[in-house]
A and B are shown apart, each in its own frame.
Chain A
Amino acid sequence: MSTDISKWLQDIVDIKGVTGVFVVSNRGQIVAHAGVKIETGKIGRIADRILRIEGAFRRKGQSLKEIDIIASNYRIIGMMREYFTIFTLCNSTDALPLIRITLNVTIAHLLEDKKFNKFITKSGTSKTQIINRAVFNKDETKLISKLQR
């Protein structure tokens, strides 16, 4: 990844309370990250579950923009765009407005970066495909079958 992208992500990690930031493709691969190193598989699993949620919303003609998981001691902010999702891990949300502004700026930069866009569209897959290809357990199958295409 370009040094610009590393710098943009580092700007987010430099904010108080942010421990890590990851840009993940629609295939669940980490394409760029900054901050705390997390086992690739772990972020992949987080991305996979979020992509399944996105896929279900897409099936009903809705487009997801953001999902946050809020707990007393952590927060995960997932911001979605057509070919990537940017996950931000926080252990405190004292500077949340600043985190959001910086994230929006970073996303705007990423969307304008031609090299990044070429790479991410090539390595991605359509969000509607994700849910069609996924393997579900019994409870998931029962629930997802209620969302007829």
Chain B
Amino acid sequence: MALVGNLRDLKLANLIQLNCMEKNTAKLTIEHAGKYGIIYFHGGQIVHAEYDPDIGDNAVYRLLTLEEGNFKVEGGVRSPALTVESSWSNILLEGLHQIDHRKSAEDGINQHLLEMLMNIKGVERAAVISANGSAITSNFTDPDGFVLGAWTVMEINQLISEAQLGTKDFITVVSDKNRLLLREYNDQIMYIELADKIQIDTILPFIQKAFVTV
């Protein structure tokens, strides 16, 4: 019987460890955002991996970055190819090292972008938030505001998909409390609060320039 679940509940690193330590021969399929990744295990090692466009070690490294996605482990399925020769423990160490490295690089970029935005006249506060409304890089907290920002982006994305519109650059939201500018980038959301008096269309080119520069 296949083992099924979501990477939210069981991390890929743990799944790999489990299959290799148990010396399973198995096929692990992961579905994330409509794309499929596959890892084959044989005799306690990873022997083959695919995650378009990567094959082998790099496919595993990229799959390790996924924080969610449905998975299925089918026991007894043999690999059609041999593309991974490193030991599973080396692959895990290198993959996790790459994630740390990427995360610190992203933190640096976020910090730099926030500094650039804060230097624009009319920008009151700015933060990088996740799609679930949590702060990623921010020097202020507004949990409800961040969730409303993430909610707005999620609904607008659905709207664009349902109405078959082209990709968007920015969303602006004016409420009786504040004026927001939202922009998705690198799977994150830039949440920008603008001063009351500033015209959004006046400030927009400067904000666009900051994103292009970073």
Contacts and interface: CB of A to CB of B under 8 A. Distances in A.
Interface of A: 42, 45-46, 49-50, 52-53, 56-57, 60, 62-74, 76, 93, 96, 139-140, 142-144, 146-147
7 contacts: A53-B152, A60-B144, A60-B148, A62-B175, A69-B168, A71-B168, A142-B132
Contact of B158 (A49, A56, A93): A49
Given A68-B170, A69-B159, A70-B168, 18 more contacts: A49-B155, A53-B155, A56-B152, A57-B148, A57-B175, A62-B148, A62-B176, A63-B175, A67-B156, A67-B172, A70-B171, A70-B204, A71-B167, A74-B165, A139-B154, A143-B150, A146-B143, A147-B151
A147 B159 contact: no
The prevalent SS among residues of A at the interface is mixed
Contacts of A142: 132
Contacts of A146: 133, 143, 147
Contacts of A64: 173-175
Given A50-B159, A56-B151, A140-B154, A71 B171 contact: no
A64 B152 CA distance: 12
A93 B201 contact: yes
A68 B172 contact: yes
A46 B163 CA distance: 7
Contacts of A67: 152, 156, 171-174
A66 B171 CA distance: 10
B163 A45 contact: yes
B2 interface: no
Given A46-B159, A65-B176, A72 B169 contact: yes
Nearest to B199: A97
B75 to A, nearest CB: 28
B166 interface: yes
A71 B159 CA distance: 14
Given A46-B159, A70-B170, A72-B169, A56 B175 contact: no
Given A56-B151, A65-B174, A147-B148, A42 B163 contact: yes
B2 to A, nearest CB: 21
A144 B151 contact: yes
B176 A63 contact: yes
A65 B178 CA distance: 10
B9 interface: no
A143 B133 contact: yes
A144 B155 CA distance: 11
Contacts of B173: 53, 64, 66-67
